[in-house]
Chain A
C-alpha cells in the first residue's frame, strides 16, 4: 500500500521489444514521476475493464491494427490521454486523434517532457499524500487503541458506525498501519496517547 497510490500507471502498446525496452528505460530513469509500466503487444491484450480504473496514460503505436476500436474506446471509456509512438510516416488525421506524439528520434528529455505534461495534473494530485490525521480521526484512533469496538466508539463520539469505519479506513491509509498493536505504537510515538494511559 502507500506508494502504489502515488504511481502513474502507463500502458504501452508496442509490438517491438526493442522499442518498448528503450522507451521504458528512458521513462523509468529520466521520468520525474513514479511510473509503472504495463507492456501490451497488441490491443487485444487489453481488456476493456482494465483500462479506465488502472491506467493513467496510454502510449500506442498507431500502425497497429485496430486503432479504430481503440478510438472507440477512447470516446466511450474513461478520459485517459493517449500518446502516439511514431516511427513511420503517418497521416495527419490519424496523428491528430492522439493527445501528443513521441517520435522515435526524440531525445529522452523531449519524451519525458511530453509525458510529464500530460500527467502532471494527476501527478500533483497524487504526489501529495495527506499524512496528517484530522482531529476527528485522532479521536477515533485514541478510542481504537484503548480497545473500544466500532459501536462503542460511535456511541462515545456521537457519530454513526459508518463514519467510524470510514475514519478507520483513512487512518490505515495515512499511517500504513492496521493492527491494533501497530496503531498503539504509532499513537505513542506521535504523542497522541501517553504511554502511562496505556495499561495492559
Chain B
C-alpha cells in the first residue's frame, strides 16, 4: 500500500530490496506461506525453494506493485493449488486479523464517544463482515474444492454441489466493495465526532488496507484463477 516506487518485478531481483520499496509484499509472502526473512535471495531462488511457479509469483507480486496481471496465458493447471493456497491464506488474514482489528477500533471509538451513530456503524460493519464471511465460506466450501478436483482431473462427486458461476462471483465482489466504500464515506465525510482523531485515522487506514487486499484478491480470482479454470474445464471437456 505504501509504495514509494513502481518497480516491475523480474526473476533476478533481490526480494529484500523489493520489500523495502513496497512493504505490502510482506503480506504477499505470508499469503504464499513463505518465511518473510528472505535473506539475500532473489525472486527466482525463492520460487525454486518454495516450489512456486515463478510466472505466477511474479504476476501476483507485480499486482502488489500496481501492474495489471501479465503472462496469464502461461499459468497452467499445476499452479491451481498455489493460487488456492494463496487465496485461502488471505481469507484467514481478513477473518482472523483485519476484521477483528477494525471491530476493535470501532468499539474503542464508541467507548470514547458513547455516540449512537457509532453503535450503528458497529452494526453496519457487523453486517458487512457477515457478508464477507459468507462469500469466503462459499469459496472455501463450494468453489475451491471443485477447482481442486478439476485441476487433478478427478471426477467431482455427483452428490456435491458444483454450482458456481463467475457472474455470481463478480456480484459478491462488487457488493463487498460497495459496502466498504460506504463505510469509508461515512467515517471520512459524514460522521462528526470529538476526541477521536488518532483512532479514526487508524480505523480508516485499516479499512483502506482491507480494501486494497480485497481488491487484489478479486483481481487474482477474476483475472487469473477463473480464466485458468475455464481453460481446464475446456481441456477436460466440461462446459
Contact = CB atoms under 8 A, between A and B. Distances in A.
A186 B120 CA distance: 10
Nearest to B127: A181
Given A178-B178, A182-B124, A188 B117 contact: yes
Contacts of A181: 120, 123-124, 127
B186 A188 contact: no
B5 interface: no
Q: Report the contact-size class of chain A (Cβ under 8 Å from the partner).
A: 10 to 19
B198 interface: no
Interface in A167-191: 175-179, 181-182, 184-186, 188-190
A195 interface: yes
A196 to B, nearest CB: 9
A177 B120 CA distance: 14
Interface string A31-42: 000000000000
A189 B152 CA distance: 54
Contacts of B117: 185, 188-189, 195
A141 to B, nearest CB: 13
Given A175-B190, A181-B124, A188 B185 contact: no
Contacts of B124: 179, 181-182, 185
Interface string B114-145: 00110011011001000000000000000000
Nearest to A172: B182
A189 B186 contact: yes
A137 to B, nearest CB: 15
Nearest to B125: A181
Contacts of A185: 117, 120-121, 124, 186, 190-191
Interface in A1-40: 1-2
A190 B121 CA distance: 14
Q: Report the contact-size class of chain B (Cβ under 8 Å from the partner).
A: 10 to 19
Given A185-B121, A189-B192, A176 B185 contact: yes
Contacts of B192: 189
Given A185-B120, A185-B121, A177 B182 contact: yes
A187 to B, nearest CB: 10
B182 A179 contact: yes
B186 A177 contact: yes
A189 B182 CA distance: 14
B179 A189 contact: no
A186 B179 contact: no
A179 B176 CA distance: 12
Nearest to B193: A189
B238 interface: no
B114 to A, nearest CB: 12
Contact of A189 (B178, B183, B190): B190
B116 A195 contact: yes
B181 interface: yes
B129 to A, nearest CB: 13
Interface of A: 1-2, 175-179, 181-182, 184-186, 188-190, 195
Given A176-B185, A185-B120, 6 more contacts: A175-B185, A177-B185, A179-B178, A182-B183, A188-B116, A190-B190
16 contacts: A1-B181, A175-B190, A176-B182, A176-B189, A177-B182, A177-B185, A177-B190, A178-B182, A179-B124, A182-B182, A182-B185, A185-B121, A186-B186, A188-B116, A188-B117, A189-B117
Shortest 6 CB-CB contacts between residues of A and residues of B: A176-B185, A195-B116, A182-B182, A189-B191, A185-B120, A177-B182
